Structures are given as C-alpha cells and as structure tokens.
Structure 1
Amino acid sequence: MTLADQLIDILNSLGGFGPEIWLSAAFCGLLLVELLLRSVPDRARRWVAVLSIVAVGVAGVWAVLLPTRGFLFMHLLFVDRQAIFFQVVVALGAVFVIWYEILTLPKRLPIEWYSLLVAMTLGLFLMTLSVNLLSIYLSIELVSICSYLLTALTADRKASEGGIKYLLFGSVSSAVMLYGMSLLYGMTGTFDLTADVFGAELARQDGTVAAVAVLLTLAGLLFKLAAVPFHVWTPDAYEAAPVPVAAFFSVGPKAAGVLVLMRLVTALPMQTASAGATMASLQKPLAVLALAGILIGNLSALRQTDAKRLLAYSTIAHAGFLLVGVVALNQAGFEAVLFYAGTYLFISLAAFFLVDLLARSNGSDLTIRHFAGLGPKHPLLSVALTVVMLALTGLPPTVGFTAKLLSFSALFEAYQQSGEGWLLVLFALGLLNALISLVYYLKIPFLLFFRSGPAQPDSAQPAQVSGGAVWLAIGLTIPIIGLFIKPDWLLELVTGW
C-alpha cells in the first residue's frame, strides 16, 4: 500500500472513530477543568460530574448511531455489532457509577477520578475494536494504568496497598502477554488477527506450541477478566477501591476483555488437522481455567466477612462462567457470552450499590454481620438486594438464571457435537458450583430478615442516604426481573442487531 493510499485509509477511518476522538477530547477538557477548579464548592464539582456523564453518554449514543462499519486504520481496529454492544455496556456502566457518586456526596472521591474514568472508558472502547495484537496491547495498558490510579486514588494506606498489588500483578500479566504476542508474531509474521496469513502460518505450527503462545497472550485478558490464574489482585483491589470504582471494575474490563478473548479464539485456524489440534489444545486449558475460576471464586467467598471482598470473589467466579460460553466454541456460546455480559452489568452494579447503601444507612462498614436485622428497617433496599443475590446465584425469577442457562446449554451442545467427556465434566461441576454459591449469596438476605442486629457502638453514625441513590440502585434491579420475563428484548440485540 502506497503512502497516499495509507493517508486516504486513515482519513476514511476517522468517520468510524468518532466516539474515541470525542472521549479523548473530553478527557483533555476534564483535566483542564479539574486543574482550574481543584478547590471548588460542591455545586461546581457537580458540574464536572455532569460533564463526565455527558461525555460518556454521548460516546455511547454515538457508537450506536455510527454509520461506519468494518476495518479502521489499516486493520488495526474493527467496528461490528459486537463491538458496539460492548461499548454500550461500558458506557452505561460508567454513567451509572458517576451518577451514583454524585448522589452519595458525603463520601465523595477526589475530583481527578472523573477524568481518569473517562480515560479508562476510552481504553475500553479501544479494546472492543482491537483486532491487531499491537492495538490490543496498547488499549489494555491504557485501561490498566487508569485502573491502578483509580484504586490508589484516596489517601489512605489500604488504597495504596491495593493499588501497589494491582500494579505488580498487572505488570507480570502484561509481561507474559507481551512475550506470547512476540511468539505469535514470530510464528505468523503479522500482528493482524484477521489476516489470512495469521491463520495459515499458525496452522503450520505444532498444535501444542501454538496453543502455548496463545495462552501466554491471553494473560493480559485473563487479568482484566479477574480470571484464574491472574485473579489474586481482585479482593485487595476491590476492598481498597471506593465502591463506585470497584463496581465499574466488575463490569467494564470484563466486558471488553471477553470480547477481545473471543476475537483471538475465533482467529485461530480450524480448517486443517494441525489446526484442529491447536484448537483442541487450547479448548482444554480454557475449560480448566473456567472451572478453576468458578471453584476458587465460590470456595473463597464462603470464608469472607467483608461484603466487598465477597463480591470480589463473586466476580472471579462469574469470570469463570463467562469463559464457559467461550469454551463451547460455537455460535450459541458466543451469543451466551454477550447476553451474560449485558445482564451482569445490572446485577453487579446493583449489588455494589445496595450493600454500600445498607452499610451507610446503618452507620457501619461493609462487614457482613452488620447487615443483620436491617430488613425491616430498610425493606426496599433489602428486598432489592435479595433479588440481586438470587440473580448472582442464577435462580429464577431473575435473568441470572437465563444467562447461566444459555451458557451451559451452549456447552452441552458442544459436548453433543464433539463427544468430549471433559466438556460434560465442566458442565456438571459448573452447575454444582451454582448450588455451592447459594451458601454465601443467601447469607446476606438471611441476616437481613432472620437475624436481629447487634447493638450499635456509640461511634456509629448512620448517614443520611440519598433518595436518588436508593432509587437508582432499586431501578437497576428492574431489568434483572424484566429480562427474565422477556429475555427476547436483549437476545434480539445480541443475535440480530
């Protein structure tokens, strides 16, 4: 391609890059505003927050209305309906967490968090579009740097410790991923996952060697998913981060990361015998990682006494459930992943917001035993949290049941087609773990309604809970019930948008 053709391609690509350009400009603008308004009253701070919501919301709407589809910037990025779907999920998550932070001002974050969240959203948007190893790496690093800063943003020891642990594990996973990418480049001679030569050259390699290179490359994606074995940072970072930040961590990086994971898996060749060996070599380790995530997440959550750490281990288990759809390696499995990620947005955000509001209303921290007896005092919040816990378990009448049903149905379909016994083992143990999770998910509802609360210490000062924050958290539970009754509303977007 000549230099003139490259310049023409870049100019033509700008039409499909509008949301990302907008977020870049918004990030720079917010940085400038925050520098000028560092010591400002709450009213001025609210304007900064509103500007952040507008920036992210406009990017999400722009992505949906974007007329351009296809490759951008010489196959660095690719715009399709899956990318747009996950961009909408990320944008909604960012809007909800900023909105919640506005409504809970007594525990407000440093003003810099708005620009950092917009920058992280930009990185996640780029991740959803990336089909080139170089763009994948750069976008993941942008998301990671913003994540480290957001974790350690508050000036206390726990936040600093959580941020450092996050940084150390992130650096290791990034190094492993970069080594895997270098191996893939050495084998194929290209960074482009969509190039014909990528699949052709990878098919010529030994299946086990190619699978090892791909698994090393997946390290960064597994880190963003909080999936085993790059999950160790999760409970400490979630506990250290403020509730809105931890809530966004549980949704945004997972959505973008699982899409990049699906793109990488589907780029692998399947048309030759050696390629088939590659896929088989990759499918089994992915199944092991999925099962390990489900087991470690659920068993570790049983011992937790802090609600945020419990939800952190819950996200590890749900990363395993997300991988179940990928392990199926069929169209039904990939559609189940999209549905799961779309519904998990509402479930996870509602869980973090509701436990935070209940703790605020009681003037206590997020220790689980402090939720005892709050059901009669705060019936709306308690009933909504019970619904959310049922959804996290995967029980009807919540969309969590539908999401797990679709994932395991796709896995069983893959077993029927291949006859591989280990797929059936993953199917059975995955369902068994859904039952194990009942023990810790229903612990909080049990305490809310069937145990009397301990005597409050004199230092406990219940905070005035904003009615807007309460209705926001309760409103997030409406789709959890509604999408169980009418899952077609989301399935049509996933399958036919």
Structure 2
Amino acid sequence: MSLTDQLNDILRSLGGFGPEIWLSVAVCVLLVVELVLVRALALSNARPYLAGLSVLVVGVAGAWASWLPARGFLFMHLLFVDNQAIFIQQVVALAALAVILYEVATSPDRFGRVVKLPLEWYSILVAMTLGLFLMAMSVNLLSVYLSIELVSICSYLLTALTTDRKASEGGIKYLLFGSISSAVMLYGMSLLYGMTGTLDLTADVFGAQLAQQEIPVATVAILLTLAGLLFKLAGVPFHVWTPDAYEAAPVPVAAFFSIAPKAAAALVLMRVVTSLPIDSPTGGATTAAIQTPLAVLALAGILIGNLSALRQTDAKRLLAYSSIAHAGFLLVGVVAMSEAGFNAVLFYIGTYLFSTLTAFFLVDLLARSNGSDLTIRNFAGLGSQQPLLSIALTVVMIALTGLPPTVGFTAKLLSFSALYDAYQQTGDAWLLALFGLGLLNALIGLAYYLKIPFLLFFRPRPTDTEPYPNVALPKLAVWVAVGMAVPAIGLFLKPDLISRWLTNW
C-alpha cells in the first residue's frame, strides 16, 4: 500500500472514530479545567462541574456511536466497527454514566461534608472509558495490547488514588498481578506472530498458519495470549487481585470494574477464538484445541468464585468473588464456540450491567443508612427501615443467582443451552462437566446471594448495639440505584429488548 493510500485510509477511518476522538479531547479538557480553574482560580468544589462534563461526554459519545453509519475496518485493519463493538461501547458508556451520577449524588457524606476524591478521578475514568472503547474495536494484536494497557493503567490509578492505606495496598497488588499478566500476554502474542507472520486476527493467513502448527504449541501460545483478557475478566488463574482491589477502591470504581472491563474483554476473547481455524487438513490447531482448556478455566472460575464468596463477611468482597464466578459464566457461552453461544455472551453482558452496578450501589446506600461500614452483619434489621432499598437489593441478588422471574435466569438459560448443544456435537466430557457443575453452582450462589436479604428482613438488629441513626440518603442516588434494579425483572418479561438493542446498531 502506497503512502497516499495509507493517508486516504486514515482520513476515511476518522469518520468511524468520532466517539474516541470526543473522549480523547474530553480527557485533555478535564485535565486543563482542573489545572486552570481549580488551581489558578482556587475553586473549592469544582467536582460537580467536572462530573457534569464527564456525563455529557460519555453520554454523547455513546449515542453518537449508535448513529454512525460507518462499519468495517479502520486504520489499516487495526480496528473494526461492527454491531457487537458498538453494543459493548454502549454498555461501557451506560456503566460510566451511572457511576458518575452515583458519585455526584453521594459526594456529601452522612454528616453533610463533601467527600474529597481527587479531581483527577473523572479524567482517569473517561480515559479508561476511551481504552474500553478501543478494546471493543481491536482486531489486531498490537491494538489489543495497547488498549488493554491503557485500561490497566487507569484501573491501577483509580484503585489507589485515594489517601487510604488500604487503597494503596490494593492498587499495588493490582499493579503487580497486572504486570505479570501483561508480560505473559505479550509473550503469547510474540509466539503467535512468529507462527503466523501477522498481527491481524482477521487475516486469512493467521488461521491458515495456525492450522499448520502442532496442537500443543499453538494451544499454549493462544492461552498465554489470553492472559491479559482473563485478567480483565477476573478469570482464573488471573483473578487473585479482584477481592483486594474491589475492597480498596471506592464503591463507584469497584462497580465500574465489575462490568466495563469484562464486557470489552469478553468481546476481544470472542474475536480471538473466532480467528482460529475450524478444521485443519493436516491435523493442526483448531478451535477444538482451545475449547477444553477454556471449559476448565470457566469451571474453575465458577467454583472458586462461589465457594470463596460463601465465607465472606464484607459486602464488597462478596461481590468481588461473585464477579469471579460470573466471569466463569461469561466463558460458558464462549466455550460453546457457536453463534448462539456468542450471542448468549452479549446478552449476559447486557443484563449483568444492571445487576452488578445496582448491587454495589444498594449495599453502599444501605450501609450509609445505618452509619456503618460494609460488614454484612451490619445489615441486620434494615429491611423495615429501608424497605425500598431492601426489596430492590433482594430482586438484584435473585437476578445474580439466576432464578426466575429475573433476567439472570434468561441469561444463564441461553448460555447453558448453547453449551449443551456444543456438547452434543463434540461429546467432550469437560463440556458436560461444565454444564452439570455450572448449573449446580446456582444453589451455592443462592446460599450467599440471599445472605444479605435474609439479614435485612429476618434478623433484628443486635440488642447490644446502638439504635440506627436517622440518616437522610441522597434522593438522586436512591433513584439511580432503584431505577437500575427495574430491568432485572423488566428484561425477563421482554428479553427481546436486548436482542433489538444489539441488532439495531
């Protein structure tokens, strides 16, 4: 390709790169606003204005993405815009919008003071949103690596940005595990490049060359490459950072971590899997070679996440281990290696967006209402004092468990139906084990998901403790949290809304 053709391709690609340009400008504007208005003009409380600008940027960027007619490759096959990429970008934008709204609504604490989060918090969150937008479009190993690193660096900063010692400790652990996973991923990418001679996952030569490789060698290279994606998914064996980082980070940050990176990483994972050859005349590597290892990782994630959550005494750590289990459930659809399985993954992401964000917001509001921390035993007897929040949390916990009449049941039904179809075609015993044990884990999930609702409604406050203080919760935060619980039942009654959301783009 000549230099003129390259320049023309770059100019043409800018038409489909509008949201990313918008977010890039927004990051710079937020930093300049902080430096000029806050430091030079000594404005003491500019955070609401910065938050408003962030909400506007993220909301407009997300809406803009759905209106763009451009589809196809951008910047010489570095990025690819399709319905799935725009769907994931919409999920990320909605998550960022909800998190910023909740943070603005809950900025005054229960004594009426303003909680001082660093002003850089908003610019870093928008930068992380930009990285996730890029991840959703990445189809080249180079763009995949760079976008993951942008997301990772922002994640480390958001975790450790406050002055709390626990936040610093959680951020350091997050950084160490992230560095290891990035190094392993980069090594795997180098092996794939050596085998195929290209970094483009969509190139015909990529699959053709992998089909010529020995199955053990190609499988190891692919699994090493998936290390960074499993890290973002909080998938086994790169899940160890999750409970410490979630506990250390502010509630809005932990809520954002629970869905946005997972959504983008799941799409990239599906792109990597679909780049593998379906069959090989020479007996080389195919999609079947990676199916069993992924099934083992999915099963391990479900078991470790659920069993570890059973003994947690802190609500945020409980939800952190829950997210590890849900990373395993997300992999169930990928393991199916079919169109039905991939559609089930996207449906799961669309429903999990509402369930996990709402769970984090509601436990935080309930803890604020009784003037305590997020220790689970402190929720006892709160059901009568905060009935609306308690009922909403119960609905969300049932959705996370995967029971009707919530959309969590529909999401798991689609995923495991696709998995069972895959088992019937392949006869792989690991797929059957994942199917059986995965469904059995719904009972384990029921044991810890309903722990907090049980305390809310069926356990009185201990007599040796002081009465609950009369704390007025921010109305905007309450309506944001309760409003996001409505889709847990609404989407069960109308599941085609997510399908239309996905296909209409």
* TM-score of the two chains, using structure 2 as the length reference: 0.96
1:149 pairs, out of 139, 157, 165, with: 157
Amino acid at match of 1:92: L
CA offsets 1:161-219 (integer angstroms, 9 cap, x no match): 00000000000000000000000000001100011111111111111211110000000
2:192 pairs, out of 184, 188, 209, with: 184
Q: How does 1:77-476 map to 2 (within 5 A)?
A: 77-107=79-109, 108=115, 109-274=117-282, 277-455=285-463, 463-476=471-484
Determine helix, strand or coil for the equivalent of 2:383. Answer: coil
Amino acid at match of 1:167: L
Quote how far apart the aligned CAs of 1:41 are.
Answer: 3.6
Alpha carbons of structure 1 residues 293 and 425: separation in structure 2 relative to 1, 3 Å:
same
CA offsets 1:39-63 (integer angstroms, 9 cap, x no match): 5343x32111100000111110111
CA offsets 1:21-48 (integer angstroms, 9 cap, x no match): 1100000000111122155343x32111
Distance 1:223 1:103 in 2: 31
Quote how far apart the aligned CAs of 1:421 are.
Answer: 2.5
1:33 maps onto 2:33 in alignment: yes
Distance 2:142 2:470 in 1: 50
Quote how far apart the aligned CAs of 1:419 are.
Answer: 2.2
Distance 1:438 1:399 in 2: 16
Distance 2:282 2:293 in 1: 17
CA offsets 1:385-434 (integer angstroms, 9 cap, x no match): 00000001001111000000000000011112222222111100000011
Determine helix, strand or coil for the equivalent of 2:398. Answer: helix
Quote how far apart the aligned CAs of 1:494 are.
Answer: 3.2
Distance 2:246 2:336 in 1: 30
Aligned length: 496
| Aligned residues of 2:177 and 2:238 also touching (Cα < 8 A) | yes
| Aligned residues of 2:358 and 2:482 also touching (Cα < 8 A) | yes
Determine helix, strand or coil for the equivalent of 1:78. Answer: strand
User: What is the percent sequence identity of the aligned residues?
Assistant: 75
Amino acid at match of 2:43: V
Quote how far apart the aligned CAs of 1:459 are.
Answer: 11
Distance 1:462 1:226 in 2: 38
Quote how far apart the aligned CAs of 1:156 are.
Answer: 1.1
Determine helix, strand or coil for the equivalent of 2:80. Answer: strand
Quote how far apart the aligned CAs of 1:468 are.
Answer: 1.1
Distance 2:68 2:4 in 1: 26
* TM-score of the two chains, using structure 1 as the length reference: 0.98
| Aligned residues of 2:58 and 2:96 also touching (Cα < 8 A) | yes
Amino acid at match of 1:431: L
| Aligned residues of 2:277 and 2:285 also touching (Cα < 8 A) | no
Aligned to 1:14: 14
Alpha carbons of structure 1 residues 493 and 276: separation in structure 2 relative to 1, 3 Å:
farther
Distance 2:501 2:354 in 1: 16
| Aligned residues of 2:210 and 2:284 also touching (Cα < 8 A) | no
CA offsets 1:208-236 (integer angstroms, 9 cap, x no match): 21111000000000000000000000000
Distance 1:246 1:459 in 2: 29
- The runs of 5 or more residues in structure 2 that have no matched partner are 110-114
Distance 1:401 1:371 in 2: 26
CA offsets 1:80-112 (integer angstroms, 9 cap, x no match): 000000000000000000000010012542211
Quote how far apart the aligned CAs of 1:66 are.
Answer: 1.1
Aligned to 2:112: none
- The runs of 5 or more residues in structure 1 that have no matched partner are none
Moved more, 240-249 or 408-417: 408-417
Distance 1:459 1:374 in 2: 11
Determine helix, strand or coil for the equivalent of 2:286. Answer: helix
Alpha carbons of structure 1 residues 100 and 420: separation in structure 2 relative to 1, 3 Å:
same
| Aligned residues of 1:97 and 1:245 also touching (Cα < 8 A) | yes
Quote how far apart the aligned CAs of 1:464 are.
Answer: 2.9
Distance 1:199 1:492 in 2: 32
CA offsets 1:101-149 (integer angstroms, 9 cap, x no match): 0100125422110000000000000000000000000000000000000
Distance 2:376 2:244 in 1: 17
| Aligned residues of 1:394 and 1:434 also touching (Cα < 8 A) | yes
Quote how far apart the aligned CAs of 1:457 are.
Answer: 5.3
Distance 1:110 1:130 in 2: 31
Amino acid at match of 2:53: L
Distance 2:393 2:467 in 1: 26
Quote how far apart the aligned CAs of 1:353 are.
Answer: 0.1
Aligned to 1:45: 47
| Aligned residues of 2:333 and 2:415 also touching (Cα < 8 A) | yes
Amino acid at match of 2:14: L
Distance 1:324 1:495 in 2: 22
Determine helix, strand or coil for the equivalent of 2:108. Answer: helix
